[in-house]
Amino acid sequence: MSSQSLFYRARMKLRMPPATAILLFIYLIVSFSHLVNAQLNLTLPNQHPYPESVVHQLQRKVNESRLLLQTTVRDNKCQSTGNPIDDCWQCDPNWAKDRQRLADCSIGFGQGAMGGKGGQIYVVRDSSDRDTVNPTPGTLRHAVVQEEPLWIVFAADMVIKLKHELIINNYKTIDGRGANVHITGNGCITLQYVSNVIIHNVHIYNCVPSGNTNIRSSPTHVGWRGKSDGDGISIFGSHNIWIDHCALSHCTDGLIDAIMGSTAITISNNYFSHHDDVMLLGHDDYLTNFL
């Protein structure tokens, strides 16, 4: 069995007692890399042909950062954190002027996630979520359904209480750095049949099931949505996804689900708390037929 197949094959629930946290790098999920078959049969779109090489690359980057932490102060200004993702951008005092550099900092299977890199900066100034069919310009919902790549930032601290699930389109980055951004309410975040999405530095909590309503997923499509599960982040049939430095808690179902053949995902540096069934990886045993 391929180690990467854990993302879409095994029916898994990671269970945690309340008020605990984990630092989850992708190499924890793929720690069974020694089981990789040299004659890997690629049966799902976007499956990496050499998963073991990804694991080795990640381990090298972690080791390099840890060595810097122990031995040097880079440029006599900023000491390594021991975390290759943070070392990639945090030592630049002007990081806010080049936010899109973050897209180059991912590691693991999701390192190809571009998010909104190369697109315009979209500033969310309105925390409301009144209309799921015709979202108000300046809101998070209006930003995430656009067709073009967008790097989404926030003008100020805000709590966004969702009316229904927030369906994110391709090539989007939700970048909460520099603000205290909370996303809560009905449905929470859905990534369904999309690619190249980055979600960074936001709080997601108290997500409850909702639906049986029309919701816009792009400028040209509005569709009827049944009842959602109440996940914090639902990744469904999607690829090239990176979830980093987020805090998730108190959701009705999972905090993060990666299901239905989703692949090329990195989940890193996240804080999971006050939850039991934290993550679902794989969804259904019928996908064993792909192996």
For residues 134 and 130, give the distance between their C-alpha atoms in angstroms, rounded to a whole number: 9
If one compares 208 and 34, the residue with the highest pLDDT of the two is 208
Confidence of residue 12 (pLDDT cuts 50, 70, 90): very low
Instruction: Give the domains, in start order, of the chain with CATH numbers.
Output: 14-26+111-283 (2.160.20.10)
Q: Please report the pLDDT score of residue 287 as a whole number.
A: 54
| Least trusted range by pLDDT, from 78-87, 111-120, 141-150 | 78-87
Handedness of CA 186, 187, 191, 193 (dihedral sign): negative
For residues 254 and 248, give the distance between their C-alpha atoms in angstroms, rounded to a whole number: 10
If one compares 36 and 74, the residue with the highest pLDDT of the two is 74
**Has residue 42 got a pLDDT over 60?**
no
- Give 234's contacts (C-beta < 8 A, 6+ positions apart): 165, 188, 189, 190, 191, 192, 228, 254, 257, 259
Find the length of the chain: 291
Residues 17-24 have a mean pLDDT of 41
Buried-exposed string 22-61: b where 16+ CB fall within 10 A, e elsewhere: eebbbbebbeebeebeeebeeebeebbeebbebbeebeeb
For residue 215, the SS3 value is: strand
If one compares 200 and 71, the residue with the highest pLDDT of the two is 200
pLDDT tens digit string along 92-126? 889 999 999 999 999 999 999 999 999 999 999 99
**Has residue 286 got a pLDDT over 80?**
no
What is the overall mean pLDDT for the chain? 83
Phi/psi class of residue 261: alpha, beta or left (left: φ > 0; alpha: ψ in -120 to 50)? left
If one compares 152 and 41, the residue with the highest pLDDT of the two is 152
Q: Please report the pLDDT score of residue 67 as a whole number.
A: 84
Phi/psi class of residue 76: alpha, beta or left (left: φ > 0; alpha: ψ in -120 to 50)? left
